[in-house]
Amino acid sequence: MAFNGTVVQYEVREHCAYITLNRPERLNAINAEMGEQIAAAVAEANADDAVRVIVLQGAGRAFCAGYDLKLYAEGGAEHQGEVWDPIRDFRMMKTNTDRFFSLWRSAKPTIAKVHGYAVAGGSDIALSCDLVVMADDAKIGYMPARIWGCPTTAMWVYRLGAEKAKRMLLTGDTIDGTQAKDWGLVIDAVPESELDAAVDHLVQRMSGVPTNQLVMQKMMINQAYDNMGLQSTQNMAVLFDGITRHSPEGRWFVDFAQKYGFGAAVEWRDTGRFMPDGGGEIPTEDEIEAMRRELDARDAERG
């Protein structure tokens, strides 16, 4: 049966399967169905002898802005619960991680085409592909590393090495496509107007190679990562992700979101404001407004 998704579109053209994340009104934020449908589309492409390459892209203004967590954060109690069940949490997040990682485990090569944003869980999806091509002004990063998250695919360290992975995950900063290319995180960065052409060029080069050759080369390279402990590193990352969301600091973040909204909590986190160990007092409205005035003044100074 042909793949038919509600939040993921699928089509085949000239030996390439195009998988499109399709929640543009939410910047393709990840919901419960998205991971399942990504994995189903990858399986469809692998089962189709006419397909040699898979391209993953996002509809609308962004590739993927991460998990759609507004309801979880602002609803707080339902998501966190009085007692955290770590195995239940692990099972849920590991399932989603494995579904994203179907792109890496795919026998056929996968290319992420990134515009706008590939951030938070969206960076997990992009970095699960074999190759990433970005618009030079697109942003990639894992901001929840500051609080309330750990990248479950663990691909930052495997792609960047320890020092640059620490630079990203100990700050929660984002970088643009140009810097991502300079660091070796992605294979290419081009003006957004040239993004389709750059990806098409890679697709054409790969799709001329027999499927057997593509599969064997990819399996050999992936095996080296497996030998370096990729699976066990992911297991730890998934467990740590659950802990970050249920630590005292994680609960402080949820309290912040419940009081002022998820957007305000994320704004405080992502602009580098101080966040207390072990929880603490939620910022006041005056402190939030002062932060916003400071950001406005900084933006005006930059022109």
DSSP per residue, 122-146: HHHHHHTSSEEEEETT-EEE-GGGS
Residue type at 20 in one-letter notation: T
Q: How many CB atoms lie within 10 A of CB 89?
A: 18
pLDDT at position 198: 98
Tokens of 144: 């929840």
pLDDT at position 301: 86
Tokens of 84: 């955290």
- Ramachandran angles phi, psi of 39, nearest 5°: -60, -40
Q: How far, in Å, CA of 22 to CA of 28, rounded?
A: 6
Q: Which residue has the tokens 């089962």?
A: 47
pLDDT at position 1: 44
Name the pTM for this structure. Answer: 0.95
Tokens of 90: 């692990």
Q: How many CB atoms lie within 10 A of CB 96?
A: 23
| Angle, alpha carbons 200-207-104 (nearest 5°) | 85
For range 245-266, the mean pLDDT: 93
Q: How many CB atoms lie within 10 A of CB 226?
A: 11
Contact of 144 with 214, CB cutoff 8 Å: no
Q: How far, in Å, CA of 243 to CA of 248, rounded?
A: 10
Q: How far, in Å, CA of 31 to CA of 64, rounded?
A: 11
Query: Tens of pLDDT along 93-122?
Result: 999 999 999 999 999 999 999 999 999 999
Q: Which of 1-5, 10-14, 133-137 has the lowest mean pLDDT?
A: 1-5
Query: Tens of pLDDT along 29-81?
Result: 999 999 999 999 999 999 999 999 999 999 999 999 999 988 778 775 555 66
Q: Output b/e per residue, 103-135; b: 16+ Cβ within 10 A.
A: bbebebbbbbbbbbbbbbbbbbbbbbbbbbbbb
pLDDT at position 160: 97
Q: How confident is the model at residue 3 (pLDDT cuts 50, 70, 90)?
A: confident
Q: How far, in Å, CA of 143 to CA of 168, rounded?
A: 9
Tell me the Cα Rg of the chain.
20
Domain boundaries defined on the chain: 8-243
The yes/no answer on whether domain 8-243 falls in CATH 3.40.50.2000 is: no
pLDDT of residue 247 exceeding 90, the answer is yes
Q: How far, in Å, CA of 26 to CA of 148, rounded?
A: 20
Which has the closest alpha carbon to 23: 10, 8, 38?
8
For range 269-276, the mean pLDDT: 92
Contact of 147 with 249, CB cutoff 8 Å: yes
Percent of the chain past pLDDT 70, that is, above it, reads 96
Query: Tens of pLDDT along 165-217?
Result: 999 999 999 999 999 999 999 999 999 999 999 999 999 999 999 999 999 99
